[in-house]
Structure 1
Amino acid sequence: MPDARRDFRPDLYRSLGSLAVTLLIMAVLLFGAAGTVDWAAAWRYLALFVVVIAIAIAYLWRVDPELFAVRRRPQAGSKSWDFAYVAVTVAAFALILPVAGLDFRFDWLQAPAPLVWLGYLLFIAGFWITSWAQGVNRHFELTVRIQTDRGHKVIDTGPYAVIRHPGYVGGLALGLGTALALGSLAAVIPVLICCITLALRTLAEEATLEAELSGYAEYMQRVRFRWIPGLW
């Protein structure tokens, strides 16, 4: 593994550089929409984001450094229909921040303190679930594709032993946690857009995997639920 980490170190550095740019964009979206930098909830959220993502990066670097290479961009063989889902999801997630800023600025639908604390818990839980899913699933990539170049096989360990799409569940928990941690009920609206988009993407992805990935149909019989045990 030390040699593997050395091979993927440039990808780690590029990922860290992209993260720095992302943090700057997040700050602009938040404080630009709020019209002020005097917003304690936003500063707390950004600080929490840095801490949690640093832990996630350290964990993923330890368990599978190759992820930093394959997840940086869409890989060859990605399904063309998936790019629309990715674009809408990314845009909706990004929209959470300026909507929360405008909510703070104009006092539309501010969340009460208990929901803010719930937001912190959901945010941390979302990062944990998503990181865990990535850590056990070396085929966790940005877009849907059958990874014949990487020996694609069904993953049924970790969170995948309970639900079939833990990454989506973690991502939605992260998004909802972001809205609530920033004290904004209005920012839940983009999260709902994400939820609908990811639900449709789940169905399309499963149709692809069932048809093209050996063993996935049997996996669907063993693990019955996509997102929420007992519900869906």
Structure 2
Amino acid sequence: MKLVVQTLASMVSGVLFFGLALFLPAWTFDYWQSWVFIAVFMVATLIPSIYLAVKHPAALQRRLKAGPAAETRPVQRVVMTATLLAVVALLALSAVDHRLGWSSVPRPIVILGDVLVGIGLLVAQLVVVQNDHAAATIRVESSQELVSTGLYGVVRHPMYLGALVMMLGTPLALDSLWGLVVLIPASAALTARIVDEEKMLTEELAGYGEYTRRVGYRLLPGVW
């Protein structure tokens, strides 16, 4: 019951966050792209969360512990703070772009953006199903075992790949091309997070060094 309440509270907080980050800079509620984006985000998050609450409650509990304050490594606190600021900037800039008409995104591309957001979120949730130690914070637990199959057999950080796809789709879904500019600092923060995380995993998770030699790409197959 406590986990259900925490999940619902997280969903409500998410709606309030998006409401402030989007409708305030846009200065209007007549912004259908934002409403659709929020709906896609909530559905793509809620349905997998219900599944995790039933099948993998411990994994869902780990996912709910997020944010800079939840990190144990100083580098990750800085990275997560930068990531949070980048997300706020991405949303706000996209909303301002829509309000002032700096750019215009055709409706089919807006829909494509929503599809990318949904796919990114579902990939991130699928990672938690395949690896119930996948958390929103960087840590290795005593009972944790290396997972190297499924999405982890394609890239070493499939959850971050999902996040990258979601970030790419977000400005498009919000009727903005200028919002794509924020992907540059956001990608830099994500890169720093991965590099530091791999350093810790190599030191603390048995078999991770061999895994990095077998699965050569961290985030993008054929690229990095």
1:3-14 equivalence runs, <5 A: 9-14=1-6
Residue from 44, 50, 60 that aligns with 2:52: 60
Give yes or no for contact 1:89–1:198 (8 Å, CA) kept in 2: yes
**What TM-score does the superposition give when structure 2 sets the normalisation length?**
0.91
Give yes or no for contact 1:31–1:37 (8 Å, CA) kept in 2: yes
1:30-109 equivalence runs, <5 A: 30-73=22-65, 78-109=72-103
Partner SS state of residue 173, structure 1: helix
1:132 equivalent to 2:126? Answer yes
- Against the structure 1 CA distance between its residues 111 and 76, is the aligned structure 2 distance closer, same or farther, given a 3 Å change threshold? closer
1:217 equivalent to 2:209? Answer yes
Offset, 1:76 = 8.3
Q: What is the alpha-carbon distance in structure 1 between the residues aligned to residue 70 and residue 76 of structure 2?
A: 13
Partner SS state of residue 178, structure 2: coil
Partner SS state of residue 138, structure 2: coil
**C-alpha distance after superposition, 1:6-56 (max 9, x if no partner):** xxx312311211210220121122111111111111112122222222222
Partner SS state of residue 81, structure 1: helix
Provide the alpha-carbon RMSD of the alignment: 1.9
Q: For structure 1, which runs of at least 5 residues remain unmatched after alignment?
A: 1-8
Q: What is the alpha-carbon distance in structure 2 between the residues aligned to residue 45 and residue 69 of structure 1?
A: 25
Q: What is the alpha-carbon distance in structure 2 between the residues aligned to residue 217 and residue 158 of structure 1?
A: 18
**What TM-score does the superposition give when structure 1 sets the normalisation length?**
0.88
- Against the structure 1 CA distance between its residues 203 and 132, is the aligned structure 2 distance closer, same or farther, given a 3 Å change threshold? same
Q: What is the alpha-carbon distance in structure 1 between the residues aligned to residue 109 and residue 13 of structure 2?
A: 29
Q: For structure 2, which runs of at least 5 residues remain unmatched after alignment?
A: none
Q: Percent identity?
A: 32
User: Which residue identity is paired with 2:126?
Assistant: W
Give yes or no for contact 1:128–1:170 (8 Å, CA) kept in 2: yes
